[in-house]
Structures are given as structure tokens and as C-alpha cells.
Amino acid sequence: MTTKTRGGNFFEDFRTGHVFHHAVPRTLTEGDMAVYIALTGDRHPLHCDREFARSLGYDQEVAHDLLVFHIVFGRAVPDVSLNSPANLGYADVRFLAPVYAGDTLRAETEVIGRRETSRPDVGIVWVRTRGFNQRQEPVLQLYRWAMVNKRDPNTRLRRTDDAPELPLRVATEDLHVPPQMDLSQFDNVVTGGQFFWEDYEPGERIIHPQGFTIEDAEHQSATRLYQNNARVHFNEMLQKKSRLGTRIIYGGHIISLCHSISFDGLENAVRLLGFNAGAHANPTVAGDTLFAWSEVLERIDLGRADAGALRLRLVGVKNLDPNEEDVPLRVKDAESGREGYHPNVVLDLDYTVLMPRRR
Amino acid sequence: MTTKTRGGNFFEDFRTGHVFHHAVPRTLTEGDMAVYIALTGDRHPLHCDREFARSLGYDQEVAHDLLVFHIVFGRAVPDVSLNSPANLGYADVRFLAPVYAGDTLRAETEVIGRRETSRPDVGIVWVRTRGFNQRQEPVLQLYRWAMVNKRDPNTRLRRTDDAPELPLRVATEDLHVPPQMDLSQFDNVVTGGQFFWEDYEPGERIIHPQGFTIEDAEHQSATRLYQNNARVHFNEMLQKKSRLGTRIIYGGHIISLCHSISFDGLENAVRLLGFNAGAHANPTVAGDTLFAWSEVLERIDLGRADAGALRLRLVGVKNLDPNEEDVPLRVKDAESGREGYHPNVVLDLDYTVLMPRRR
Amino acid sequence: MTTKTRGGNFFEDFRTGHVFHHAVPRTLTEGDMAVYIALTGDRHPLHCDREFARSLGYDQEVAHDLLVFHIVFGRAVPDVSLNSPANLGYADVRFLAPVYAGDTLRAETEVIGRRETSRPDVGIVWVRTRGFNQRQEPVLQLYRWAMVNKRDPNTRLRRTDDAPELPLRVATEDLHVPPQMDLSQFDNVVTGGQFFWEDYEPGERIIHPQGFTIEDAEHQSATRLYQNNARVHFNEMLQKKSRLGTRIIYGGHIISLCHSISFDGLENAVRLLGFNAGAHANPTVAGDTLFAWSEVLERIDLGRADAGALRLRLVGVKNLDPNEEDVPLRVKDAESGREGYHPNVVLDLDYTVLMPRRR
């Protein structure tokens, strides 16, 4: 037996300042974009209507921002999160240059901090991951922090905490609208949306009508498409012994499904600009039925006449239909008295989209 | 909570003469064509063999006629059939210009009639849907009628019936053979088919050998590929409360699977020309095993030496193998004495294909 | 009822020397390549990284050798193995010219021998299948032998055995490295692999960490992608009556999954050169969790400075994790005393890969 396989990095292996150059760059193709639609049901026309994309100034239909996110994220898994029981949060996620079929994405990740936790067997690692196309233009940057298993529960970091302070939101000046994009000719017959930037009021809640029951074959196919090889999504034998008792669905797939569900009521949200913050509040497994609502957090003036930014909270809920009953985001635990996410809330994503203004 | 989401149209919302310009045009790609094969097993070579397609006068392999059908149908769902418990029939469905990878399809639907039914909670709506490519050339037209829920069971139409008379079949002069198509060099080594137009006798029944057991992940992926967002296909929680008790499979997926099954015995059926009539006789759900037989209804002379049209009845059956036991199309109900479809018959499609003539 | 469907060939139908020209050539596209990744999780960068493929001398990313294998194999199924309960072995499988998106593959198969068995109802048929692209260049050749049902258990061949002697391995001079390929600039940051040809020692065993639990929707989609229409993979009603009791997974899908799993520890194995021998030791069904190990059999000097060949034994195991317990390849049966494959071993593939040398 040999040690030619690496089991991924453990908490002890991360050094603040180290940069991983991740393996297996990936050429995105029309094939990936079709499989993405087959697995998420996404209908945002920038990503499936070549003529519409051209009318906005793009060369052709653009890879879905979340497809780019998952591909970049997937590159980093073997180095960063193979031994991670949970991703804890995202910050300052920015979608930069558009990605077209034929572009090749690679990724690198800098370790930006570590912290011991109250549990001896896990620590927390903060990273900054960046994705680049074949012209070395950045297409995505993200901060995230994850719980990472220790190789040895007895190790302690010498300096136990150099956790960074991360931005609480993407700064308005960092919300990247591609220079070629021009929404002055935006045609809402294409989106089917009746509502524009001015029509969304902070505090407003939009309950999206669709519900998606998720199968193992579906989330596994999505996660494999992204070449994300975290074992917990694929190995039922391993997972049977886990607390959850079965394969856990890749949290990014849940983001994609919720974002697809959110099309009804936010049809004119042309594309994502960034994630401000995000949490996978509870796990999902095959058989769960996923619903979503959106809350309008803020209208952001981008200083342009054709479009503004809309900051939204996208909440995913499993096995309770918010169209039929009120589901609170957070609840107080009866025993501990502590407040936390409602046990059926699975996603709490604070993100920002580009939205055309009324003409 | 806001009303930014539309719940689709109800019976009361349809006005005869109104035209919907459906949202989310879709660029068909090689990716969609590959996913179509992965989900249906289709082997018709016009749609997967570039060299063969060129030998018949096409630029390259052509999107499957049924893929085009599903994409156009899917466009119309949010406006027409989100509140439809069942599609009742098709008429005069014509496949027009060929669709290639890179073409963008949009659709519009005219309401052509409505009728009250004996049930107070539903009515019937007749529509004509047309699909166009980016050059505004029609690629598909279809009539269909569907049961549609009322918003309020107490509403009654003032004029309770302006249901149209629809053609009983596609007229021979409307069977569209693309002008560039030339079957004089048709090579049946490519199809593997031994039989030509002259060899099929009206009344003949061809029992196709394959059987497909259908999984939820498969029909959901197909229906999402078409961006058909009817809730009944995806939401197990909703469907558990329905009469069927589980997710219902999109009827169009059943047409695609039956058509794929029908390849064995009809290998030289180059492409579809039209549907004359069609009914989804009974619902299918995950776990059902699908079989099919074809009955030759008519040989239609197209006035050309290279090819004729063959009118066929394609019958889909669930959970009974017509290769092993005789399954009647229709049976008399023991209690009511009324004749209807055999409970295992799921599809009865009267359609017309193009078939080369013997040289 | 008519006989327009052929039920495939039975043992009596095979004549040594006969050549089948298989139907339904297939144009491989970027769509097929994306679906392949979604169904196998493959990460070998030659097949998904356009820039890397170009750096090695290719025009662009190359279709996965196993995708080509399955497409060619699938062409042959209707003529060769529709009535085959099991494929018994492979020999001298050679991967020849690279296949790119847009290439169209056709296949032909020569019957090279037959043998009666101790069972009256089945015989064994040996074939040589070759795949060609649209320029009639060979892209793959393979020998395989399969058990094939008799139409009539009473028939006996006149000459009961003309089984060929097949090479025990692909001859070194037949290991085909495309002339344009140049590994002198091979960048192992792209693969993430730390180990080169010189680092692998014969006798070494690499236990790969991943485990894949397989769903019916997944293996069915893969097998349909290859247009392989063998009934045993799709028809649960039929298979319920079989000894196995359910749908059997196409053995080629198991090869693809094991090969994908083997990436961890063999990252620099650029591509396949050939199969020397292979056996599907036991069947797999949905719900099985698949693991794999590799044993290094031989380092083969190709007489070039940039790369050598590595002969490997890839072993697939179901429902036992070789990372956790020792799984022997072969065991002695308690009752019969005969040695055979361990009942959880599902694949024993002796194959050869191209591997860059240390610079």
C-alpha cells in the first residue's frame, strides 16, 4: 500500500498566507450550460437566450454566475475542504468578467486565517479563492470560512487565532457591471417580468411559488458536473455512519435551486453581482422538497440610468411550503433559550443582483 | 408579502383572441441535444449523425423534432397551463423549419376558444401555439386544449362555448418537407432499417421490444431541460395531496420515450412531419415501466419519388409488456359499461413521419 | 403483428468471418463530454481543460477515451449483444486517433470465433470491433467475447469451436501515442499529481479514497447517452424475473466510475493507451457503493524521454471500503473449494496508461 493518494489537508496543514494553485482547470462549454439547466430548471434569459444576451452588449449567452461559482469552488475542494464537515459562511463574493462557452477557468486560494474552536477535533479556516479565465482575467473572487477536521485532536495552533475581519457586504464600488452591458434597450417581454428596480421596496417579501423535491441522482450529477469530490455527497456507506445518516446535498446546489425558484417574482434580475453573506443554515438530503422566499433588503443606486442594484435575502426552506404557512427565519430553542435558524431553513443568502430601471 | 409573483392564468383570465408573447426564448445547443439523448435514449440518426444529416441536404445534425416541441411547449406553460390539471388533446401539430444548435426559439400562443364543463371548478381552453426561430421563421405550430382550473368555481362565462373546430389531421399539403431535403441518396446502413415506405401496410402492428423504467430524477431533469415549470412534475409535497399521490410525469416526456422505443421497427422514419391527434390516456409516475407499439394507419403519397409519409398510431403502455401479452387499446368499464382507454394505456398519438421509398 | 423488429442476433446467427456494419453513427459533441463528467465525476484534465490539451499538442480538449469506448461499444450492441447475458472479457483494446467534439464515430464488428459451452442454452462469441471517425481513421479497436443466448437450446454448431487465441496484452509497439503529443512541457500543477512514471513501483497498491453510491437514474442516463439499448439495464419488469432481481448496471459505466475514482493517486496518467484484459467479476445494481484500488503491474519504457507507459490493474469493489478493510481480489469458495473473485469485486481491469516522466 502506498501514500500516493493525499487525503486532503487537515487543520494543521493550513498556514496563513499560503496560496494553493488548484488542479484541473476547466473549460466551460455549452454542454455544461445545458446540464446546469437540466439540473436546476434555471430560466434567467441572459444564460439561455443568445439574442437577449447580445441585445445587452454581450457576445452571446453567458455562463450562469452560479455555474461559474460552483466550478471555481469545485477546483478548491481537494485542497481546502476535503476534510471539512461544514462551510460556515461566505463574504464579499464578487462576480467579475463574464464567462462564455469555451473559456477555461482555473482557481487559486490563499489561506487568510485560522482559529481554534471549543471542540478539540476541529478548527476554522478562512480563505480567499479567486477564479481566472485563460486570459488570466479574474472572473470571481470569494471569501469563505469552513470548519476543518484536525488530523490529531491534540494539536493546538501556537497562535490560536488570526481570523480576519471580512467586509459585511460587497462595497457598492465593487459591484461589477461589465462595461459592455447596456440595459437601456432591456426588453421585459423576454423575461416576462413586470417589475423594475424602483418597484421593489425594502422590507418586501416575495414568496416564490415553486417547490422542488430533490433526488440523489440529481444532486450527485450537479456536484460531479462541478468536479467537486467531497465524499459526503456521494458515499452512502460513509454517510450512514454520520449524524445525518445519509448523503448530504452540496450547499451550492441548494443555492442554485433556490435561485432558480426565485425567478418567479424577480424575473428582471439580470445577473448576480455578489454575495454579501451566506449561511447553509441546515443540511438537505434527497427526498427533501425545497421552497424559497426573497426579502428585499436595499435598493442600491449605481449612479446609472439604465439599472440599479437590489440587495436581497434569499431564504431556502425544506419540507414546509411558505406559500401555505408562515415559516419564521429564526426561532428560540425551547430548551436552551438560544435563538437560531428555524430547523427547516436551509439557506440564508444575502446577495445583490442587477436590475433594470423603469424607463 | 407582495403580489410580485403571478400564479399563472386561471380559466377566467383567458380571452378568446388574446395572444401571449411568452417569456424566456431559448437558444438550443449541442448540450441540449446531448442531454435529450441521455434522457430518452433516442437513436434517430438525423439528430445525432452530422454526416448523415449532411447527406440528406441539411447543414448538420438537426435538433430532434420533439425537443423543439418540448422547448416551444415549455415556453407556453407559465401563461397557459400552470393551473391546468391535464392536457386534453393536440391537433394539427406541424414541424416546420429545421432547428440547429445555435438557433433561438421563442413562442406565442393565441387563445382560440373556451368552454364550460359539467364541473364548476374547471373549464377547457383551446390554444394555438407557434414557435419561431431568431429569423422569425416558424419552426412549429400546434393546437392543443387543456383543462384549466377556475380561480372561483362560481364564475360562469357569459358566452359559455366558443370552442373551435379543429382539423382531424394535418392536411397532406401541410406536411412540411424542408426544400433542401433529398432522400434519393438515403443510406439505410446508417439507420439499420430494412423496411421502406412501401413495406408498411395499413393495419399492421409493430410491437417494439424495449421497456424503460422511469425514475423521478430522469423525468424531472427532462422537464427542467425544457424549462417547463408546471408544479405537478416537481413538488412531491403538493402531489402527495393529489388524487395520484405523487409527482406526475410530463406527458411530453412520455411521447419522447415512446418515440425512442419505436425506433426498433421504424428505423427509416427520418423525422416527424406532424401530430394529427393525441391523448395522454392515463398518467405515469416514477417506477412505471413504459412499453410501446405502433399501428400503421395510412401510407400517404407525397408526390415525390424519394419519400412518402406514414401515418402511425403510437401507443404507450405502462407496466404491461405488449411483447408478452395482448393489451387492448380500449376496454369497456365493468360498472359504467362505457368504453375508454385500457387503464395501462398512457399515450395514444396519431402522428405522421417521413419515410424514404424503396429505390 | 409483424416481424419488422429484429430481436437481435442469437448464437446461431453468428458466422465466423461475418462483418456487421453497425447502424447509427454518432457525432460526439461538447454536450456528450459535459454529460460524461456529470455522470462520472471524471477530472482527467486532457478531457476538460482546453488550454492543457493544447499545451500537449492537441487541437483542444479530447473526448475521454472511455467515452469513445462506450460510444463504439454502444453501436455494436444491437447486432452483437442484445441477447447476451454477460460480457466475458476484453483483449487488445487500443485507443488510437484522438476524438474531438464534432467527430462522427461509426463502428463495425467482425465475428472471429464461436464456442459451445457446457450449457445447452448459451454459447460464446468472439468479436473484433473497430471504431472509425468521419475520415475513416480508426479511433478504437477491441476484442471481446460474450455469452450469447441460443434461439433454440437444441441447436449445436457443426464445428463447435473456432475460438481464437487473443493477445494476452497490447503489444508495446501497439501502444499508440498520437504523433502530435509532446509531454516535455507537461505541467503537473494542472493535474495536481506529485508522482511520475519513475515513481510507480510494480507491486505497489494505491487505494483510492472516493466511494460512489450509484442510482438507477445515473447508470440509465449514462447507458442511454451511449445509445446502448441492451434491455437488462432499463427494464425493471424484465429484470425482476431475472436471477439478479433488478436492473443490472452496464459494465462500461463501472469502468468509467472506477477510472474516475482512480484519479486520486494517478493524477498524471494523461490518457489510456489500451486494455490488456478485463473482466466484470460480479454485477452491480443501483444502491451499490463503488470503491476502487489500483495495482501497478509494470513500467513500460516507450523509448522516449517525455513519457512512459504504466500497466495497472484497476479493481472495483462494491459495498466494502478497501480504505477501511482489506478486500482480497480472489477467494476460495467454502463449498466448492474453487478459487474465484471475491463476491464484492466487480471489476478486474488490466490496462495501460500514458504517464509523463520526471524531468
Structure confidence by residue, pLDDT tens digits, A265-300:
999 999 999 999 999 999 999 999 999 999 999 999
Residue C22 has pLDDT above 60, yes or no: yes
Pair C281, C230: CB distance under 8 Å: no
Mean pLDDT, range A33-57, rounded to an integer: 98
Tell me whether domains A7-152 and A191-359 share a fold. Answer: yes
Q: Which chain A residues are Cβ-neighbours of B246 within 8 angstroms?
A: none
- Give the model's pLDDT for residue C157: 77
Most confident of A112-121, B7-16, B34-43: B34-43
Say if C19 is an interface residue toward chain B (CB within 8 Å). no
Question: C348 vs C7, which has greater pLDDT?
Answer: C348
Q: Answer yes or no: are the C-beta atoms of A215 and A286 closer than 8 Å.
A: yes
Work out the pLDDT band at B349, boundaries 50, 70, 90. very high
Chain B hits for C30, Cβ within 8 Å: 30-31, 34
Place of cell 469506448: C69
Predicted-assembly ipTM surpassing the 0.90 threshold = yes
Q: Which of A78-87, A246-255, A326-335, C80-89 has the highest mean pLDDT?
A: A246-255
**Cell numbers 491534540: residue:** A154
Residues 6+ positions from A243 with CB-CB distance below 8 Å: none
Evaluate whether the domain defined by B11-152+169-356 bears CATH number 1.10.10.10: no
pLDDT of residue C154: 87
**Residue B282 neighbours by CB under 8 Å, 6+ apart:** B318, B341, B343, B344, B345, B346
Confidence of residue B63 (pLDDT cuts 50, 70, 90): very high
Question: What pLDDT band is residue B1 in, cutting at 50, 70 and 90?
Answer: low
Q: Using the predicted structure, report yes or no on whether residue C272 has a pLDDT greater than 90.
A: yes
pLDDT of residue C3: 83
Chain A residues near residue B229 by CB distance under 8 angstroms: 41, 43, 210, 264
Q: How confident is the model at residue C196, as a pLDDT?
A: 98
Question: Mean per-residue pLDDT for A195-220?
Answer: 97
3-state secondary structure of B76: helix
* pLDDT tens string A139-161: 999 999 999 999 998 888 777 68
Q: Which residues of B touch A206 (CB under 8 A)?
A: 1-2, 4-5
Q: Which residues contact A69 (CB under 8 A, 6 or more apart)?
A: A93, A95, A140, A142, A252, A255
8 Å CB contact between C90 and C169: no
pLDDT band (50, 70, 90) for residue A92? very high
Is the pLDDT at A112 greater than 90? The verdict is: yes
Cβ-Cβ pairs closer than 8 A, B with C, add up to: 141
Interface touch A25/C207, C-beta < 8 Å: no
Whether residues C48 and A101 touch (CB distance < 8 A) is answered with: no
Do the Cβ atoms of C96 and C137 come closer than 8 Å?
A: yes
Residue A3 has pLDDT above 90, yes or no: no
Q: CB–CB of A49 and B227 under 8 A? A: no
Judged by a CB distance cut-off of 8 A, whether residue A30 touches chain B is yes
| Between B43 and B158, residue with greater pLDDT | B43
The answer to whether residue C158 scores a pLDDT higher than 90 is no
Give C87-129 pLDDT, tens digit per residue: 999 999 999 999 999 999 999 999 999 999 999 999 999 999 9
Q: Does B213 touch chain A (CB under 8 A)?
A: no
Task: State the cell numbers at A240.
Answer: 450512514
**C23-33 pLDDT, tens digit each:** 999 999 999 99
Tell me the mean pLDDT in the region C72-79: 98
Judged on CB neighbours under 10 Å (0-12, 13-18, 19+), B200 is buried
Separation CA C211–CA A236 (nearest Å): 8
pTM: 0.98
At A211-257, the pLDDT tens digits run 999 999 999 999 999 999 999 999 999 999 999 999 999 999 999 99
pLDDT at C168 over 70: yes
Res. B153: pLDDT tops 90: no
Tell me: pLDDT of A1 over 60: no
Question: Would an 8 Å CB–CB cutoff place C35 in contact with chain B?
Answer: yes
In this predicted structure, the answer to whether residue B338 has a pLDDT above a threshold of 90 is yes
Can you tell me the mean pLDDT for B255-267?
Answer: 98
CA dihedral B38, B43, B44, B50 (to 10 degrees): 80
For A58-77, what is the mean pLDDT?
A: 98
pLDDT of amino acid C1: 52
Residues 133-192 of A with CB under 8 A from B: 189-192
Q: How far apart are CA A300 and CA A35, in angstroms?
A: 33
CA distances from A88 to A71, A220, A347 (A): 19, 21, 11
Name which of A253-267, A331-345, B155-169, C43-57 the model is least confident about.
Answer: B155-169
Question: A118 or B29: which carries more pLDDT confidence?
Answer: B29
Contact C4 B209 (CB under 8 A): no
| Interface contact flag, A23 C45, Cβ < 8 Å | yes
Q: Which chain C residues are closer than 8 Å to A6 by Cβ?
A: 194, 264
CB contacts, 8 Å: B77 with chain A: none
Tens of pLDDT, residues A295-329: 999 999 999 999 999 999 999 999 999 999 999 99
List the 187-206 stretch of C: residues with Cβ below 8 A of B.
none
Topology adopted by domain C11-152+162-356:
Thiol Ester Dehydrase; Chain A (3.10.129)
B-chain residues within 8 Å CB-CB of C5? 206-209, 264-265
Tell me the three cell numbers of residue B253.
Answer: 416526456
The torsion angles phi and psi of C89, rounded to 5 degrees, stand at -175, 165
Please report which residue ranges of chain C form alpha helices under DSSP H: 30-40, 50-55, 65-80, 188-191, 216-225, 236-240, 251-261
Amino acid making up residue B125? V
Residues 38-67 of chain C whose Cβ lies under 8 A from any Cβ of chain B: 39
Report CB contact under 8 Å: C101, B34: no
User: What's domain A191-359's superfamily in CATH?
Assistant: Hotdog Thioesterase (3.10.129.10)
Q: Where are the domains of chain C?
A: 11-152+162-356
pLDDT at A27: 98
Q: Name the residue with cell 482527467.
A: C44
- Give yes or no for A27 touching C (CB within 8 A): yes
For A7-152, CATH gives 3.10.129.10
Q: Give chain C positions within 8 Å (CB) of B264.
A: 5-6, 229
Asked if C4 and B266 come within 8 Å (Cβ–Cβ), the reply is: yes
Residues 6+ apart with CB under 8 A from C46: C52, C53, C56, C58, C61, C62, C270, C271
- What chains are in contact with B, requiring at least 3 Cβ pairs below 8 Å? A, C
Residue in chain C closest to B219 (alpha carbons) equals: C217
A207 to B5: CB separation less than 8 angstroms, yes or no: yes
A107 touches chain C (CB under 8 A): no
Question: Of B34, B51, B218, which has the smallest distance from its Cβ to C35's Cβ?
Answer: B34
Chain-wide mean pLDDT for chain C? 96
Cβ–Cβ gap C2/B204 under 8 Å: yes
Rounded to an integer, the average pLDDT of C243-262 is: 97
> Three-state SS for A40?
helix
Across the interface, whether the CB atoms of B227 and A61 are under 8 A apart is answered no
Note the helical H segments in chain A: 30-40, 50-55, 65-80, 188-191, 216-225, 236-240, 251-261
pLDDT computed for residue A158 by the predictor: 74
Give the model's pLDDT for residue B180: 87
